[in-house]
Amino acid sequence: MTARKAQRTARLIDLLSQRRVIHLSEAAALLGVSEMTVRRDIATNQGQIAYLGGHILAAAEIDTDTPYELATAADSHAAAKREACAHAVRKIRPDETIFVDCGTTLIHLIDLIPDNYQITAICYAMNVAERLSRKPNVTIIMLGGVYHPASASFSGTHDFDILKSVGINAAFLSAAGVDAKRGATCEHFHEAVVKQKVMSVARENYLVIDSSKIGKLKRAFFSGMDGFDAVITEHGEAGPGSF
Amino acid sequence: MTARKAQRTARLIDLLSQRRVIHLSEAAALLGVSEMTVRRDIATNQGQIAYLGGHILAAAEIDTDTPYELATAADSHAAAKREACAHAVRKIRPDETIFVDCGTTLIHLIDLIPDNYQITAICYAMNVAERLSRKPNVTIIMLGGVYHPASASFSGTHDFDILKSVGINAAFLSAAGVDAKRGATCEHFHEAVVKQKVMSVARENYLVIDSSKIGKLKRAFFSGMDGFDAVITEHGEAGPGSF
DNA sequence: GAGCGGTTGTTAAAATCCTCACATTTCAGG
DNA sequence: CCTGAAATGTGAGGATTTTAACAACCGCTC
């Protein structure tokens, strides 16, 4: 094995750590060699590189034991979040327009909406939009803007133009911290701006959190507790006065 | 979804938890249905089941990769598109603002942009934004609006407000058809509206297509050939007059 | 510079996979 | 039992992937 070949293989593995799946022809272009050469590289490195029908992926992906748990474990308090969302989903009627905040909590809400509901969902985070797009009968409206990687969300002044032209029946908000005195807070200021603007136009505002958030205070304030029609946790629904 | 189909899907997922990778033909035999049916089952369960060139695997294996990744992988004329983009990427300077159209073609352009370039990219399709978000040093601006599943893109009147406040050095447009007489066309009217608006504010407009598009005519017209500063295919760059 | 093994690119044919359209079957309500 | 919608099977055609053979190239030694 020449130095050139070894280096090329290392580069391919490096690419896989970022991309998970790379098509053969794409890898060939990226590495500046022919497809045949990439094939041969893979054949001599079956331990690290896996190959399936034209697609290259890290061998670890299909070797190591169940990454399922890992994926769900990355989302802490997933069970509590899902339960809170199970309570929250009852607020949605079959033909309403809702707002879905960013974060991991409300992803569960989306999954729990019955497939036959014809809802319109407004969002501003990419992971939320992506999950919504998998559901049937959902009209998705994305508030655009500048991308913020930390929360996979978009923000900007223009958001507000869209909000003027839609009627939101219920807004489902998430928070990173809920404090009795200071109210609901999140990690990023740009998120807080969007949340506030949405809350000002939505008919009903629900804060959906798992109870681990209670007592915490984060840097970006977006609403006092009296701004919510209800606070929904895994234990059920509580009036805003209980905090 | 019938009970039978749901049960079959559950069985398939169960198989995947033991086997990691199952070939399409084997799954069809194991489940006692045709390969076509297994394909369709997978298509309606992209969240849990992933599919790569004839092989079925648990979606968790290639986690965080949205279904778009798979869409790109199954992309036809992928090699020609990538070559066209290799020509197109030379139009980008290290600190510019560009527009990236929707579709599968320009995904390759994104991959080919050098990592050390500090560019700002404007887009209106989810798969494009998703791919952009993986690159370092890129500022992403998303034009929001109503979601259109066919092209994973968003559209709406409000797009135009954002466009007023940015300066676009180069817009990279794609098309589903290019006709000598009628010019550039695409599948959906809502896309055409966005393309036209972008072209009116961008300093330079490049049409990037693989040559299979030439001679085709689709329903939504968005620009005559003289609207482009250049047409870029896998064979290189051509002036707009050559069509 | 000639010779050598290992590496790489190019082609063509075969096998496989994908998409689409249409025929058939199944299933839930009336 | 009838009926329409959903689900399923089938086959053709096109696109992609695989394999194999052969030619060209590289770095090295003699």
pLDDT digits (tens, 9 = 90+) for A114-173: 877 889 999 999 989 988 887 778 899 999 899 998 889 999 766 677 888 899 999 999
| Contact yes or no for A62 and B20 at CB 8 A | yes
The domain A3-63: what is its CATH number?
1.10.10.10
Confidence band (pLDDT; 50, 70, 90) for A241?
Answer: low
Q: Which of A7, A78, A76, A20 is nearest to A49 (CA)?
A: A20
Q: Is the CB of B181 under 7 A from strand D?
A: no
Are the Cβ atoms of B143 and A144 closer than 8 angstroms?
Answer: yes
pLDDT tens per residue, range A82-106: 889 999 999 999 889 999 999 989 9
A10 in reach of chain B (CB within 8 A): no
Nearest to B234 by CA among A154, A56, A8, A25: A25
Q: Cβ separation of A145 and B142 shorter than 8 Å?
A: yes
Contact list, A23 vs chain B (CB under 8 Å): 72-73, 78
Residue B226 distance to chain A (closest CA, Å): 31
Mean pLDDT highest for which of A16-30, A175-189, B38-52, B229-243?
Answer: A175-189
Helices then strands, each counted (H, E), chain A: 10, 15
Q: Mean pLDDT throughout B25-39?
A: 88
Residue limits of CATH 3.40.50.1360 in chain A: 72-242
Instruction: Answer for A39: CB within 7 Å of strand C.
Output: no
Q: Which of A42-46, A119-123, A170-174, B141-145 has the lowest mean pLDDT?
A: A42-46
Q: Above 60 in pLDDT, residue B216?
A: yes
Q: Which of A21, A29, A141 faces B146 most closely, judged by CB atoms? A: A141
Q: Do A78 and A71 form a contact (C-beta atoms < 8 A)?
A: no
User: What's the pLDDT at A61?
Assistant: 56
- The CATH number assigned to the domain with range B78-242 reads 3.40.50.1360
Alpha-carbon distances, residue B122 vs A52, B33, B189, B236 (angstroms): 34, 45, 20, 24
For strand C, which nucleotides have at least one atom less than 7 Å from a protein CB? 6-11, 16-21, 26-28
Residue A169, amino acid: N
Average confidence score pLDDT of chain A: 85
| CATH architecture under which domain A72-242 falls | 3-Layer(aba) Sandwich (3.40)
Nucleotide nearest to B38 (CA to C1'): D8
Which nucleotide has its C1' atom closest to residue B4's CA? D7
On the question of pLDDT at B72 being above 60, the answer is no
* Closest nt to residue A4, judged CA to C1': C7
The pLDDT of residue B77 is above 60: yes
* Stretch B79-89: mean pLDDT: 83
Q: Kindly determine whether the C-beta of residue B41 is less than 7 Å away from any atom of nucleic acid strand D.
A: yes
B2 CA from C28 C1′ (Å): 10
Q: CA B85, CA B87: separation in Å to the nearest integer?
A: 5
Query: pLDDT tier at B139 (50, 70, 90 boundaries)?
Result: very high
Q: Does residue B156 or residue A199 have the better pLDDT?
A: A199
Q: What is the pLDDT of residue B66?
A: 39
Task: Please state, in angstroms and rounded to a whole number, the distance separating the CA atoms of residues B41 and A100.
Answer: 28
Residue B160: per-residue pLDDT: 74
pLDDT value for B53: 86
Question: pLDDT tens digits for B150-180?
Answer: 788 898 766 677 888 899 999 999 998 898 8
- Give pLDDT, residue B195: 95
What is the Cβ-side half-sphere exposure of residue A133, based on CA atoms within 13 angstroms?
24
Q: Which of B13-27, B106-120, B196-210 has the lowest mean pLDDT?
A: B13-27
| Residue B136 forms contact with A (CB below 8 Å) | no
Count CA atoms within 13 Å of residue B104 on its CB side: 19
What pLDDT score was predicted for residue A1?
60
Interface of A with B in 102-131 (CB under 8 A): 124, 126, 129-130
Delimit the CATH 1.10.10.10 region(s) of chain B. Answer: 3-63
The closest CB to that of A162, out of B62, B129, B144, belongs to B144
Query: How large is the average pLDDT for residues A221-230?
Result: 96
> What does the pLDDT average to over A27-39?
88
Q: Is some CB atom of chain B closer than 8 A to the CB atom of A164?
A: no
- Residue scoring higher pLDDT (B114 or B18): B114
Q: What is the pLDDT of residue B69?
A: 42
In chain A, the percentage of residues whose pLDDT exceeds 70 is: 87
The whole-number pLDDT of residue A102 equals 95
Q: Which of A63, A82, A62, A64 is nearest to A72 (CA)?
A: A82
Q: What is the chain B residue with the closest CA to A18?
A: B134
Residues whose CB is less than 8 angstroms from the CB of residue A38 and which lie 6 or more positions away in sequence, other chains included: A12, A24, A27, A28, A31, A56
